[in-house]
Structure 1
């Protein structure tokens, strides 16, 4: 799983330690931003389901629909995210008991 610190903005606020990355087992990009005071909950956490956001643009559109933005991404982060996804493209999908269990949970 890749993880890169970026800035996410929302209604005049900024989270300069937000995390964007690619999750190979779920085959999705993800975004985490705006932790609460205790640092345990997040106001924004996208990309928790299998193939939920297969492109950075899809992730960005989902963030925008919730009032958050992370564009423009730093060029080095965008390049590395796409490389992370490409590196995993050759990997066969996870299809063991854990994958079946996750699909079961997501169907609920």
Structure 2
């Protein structure tokens, strides 16, 4: 059973892990996620958005900073800090990372 959401002002910073993993090529699944096993002892799931499903991406974790890049275009799909306490890594959208509509 899931707990109630924690109010924004009571949220703690994620537990950061200083881990480095070389580049890995992965296919983005139908949910819009990239999965990598054995990062700090468990599987990690990175959200990059459903509109990216089926694309090939490169996952690089450098000192706890995860960067996911589209192999075809070189576009950065996600750039976030690895949270060592969670399997599912929430993506905090920013204006500069994959927010522009595709119709432009």
Q: TM-score, normalised by structure 1?
A: 0.33
Whose helix fraction is larger, Structure 1's or Structure 2's? 1
Q: Which has the higher contact order (CA 8 A, sep 6+)?
A: 2
Whose strand fraction is larger, Structure 1's or Structure 2's? 2
Q: TM-score, normalised by structure 2?
A: 0.34
